[in-house]
Amino acid sequence: MAQFERGDERQADFCRRRGLGLGAFRHWLYRLRREQSAAPKPAARFVPVVVSTATGSDAIPACTLRLAGGEVRFAAVPAASYVAELLRLMDR
C-alpha cells in the first residue's frame, strides 16, 4: 500500500503489474484509509504568551506562560525548544 500511495499509477495498472487482484487490493486500501482517518488525532494546544519590552524595577516579565491554572514568568523570552520541553513535562 505504501508503494502505491507514493506512486502515481492508477489502481488497475498497479495491480496488473504486480499480479494482484484489483478487488482485494481496493478492499485493503480502503480499509487502511478508513483506519487511518479514524485514528485519534492529538488535540491542538494553544499557549498564551505575553511579551513585554518594559524595563526597570516596575517592569513586568518579558514572557508569561499560563497553563492549567498555573503561571510561569520569564525575564526574557525563552527558546521555543525550552518551552516545548517544559510543556511536555507539565503534561505528565
pLDDT digit string, tens, across residues 53-67 = 666 656 666 778 777
Q: Whole-model pTM? A: 0.42
* Distance, CA of 41 to CA of 36 (rounded, Å): 10
* CA angle 43–46–52, rounded 5-degree value: 170
Q: With beta carbons less than 8 A apart as the criterion, state whether 35 and 75 touch.
A: no
What's the confidence (pLDDT) of residue 91? 65
Cell output for 56: 526597570
What's the confidence (pLDDT) of residue 89? 75
76: exposed, middle or buried (Cβ count in 10 Å: 0-12, 13-18, 19+): exposed
Task: Report residues of the chain scoring pLDDT below 50.
Answer: none
* Distance, CA of 82 to CA of 74 (rounded, Å): 12
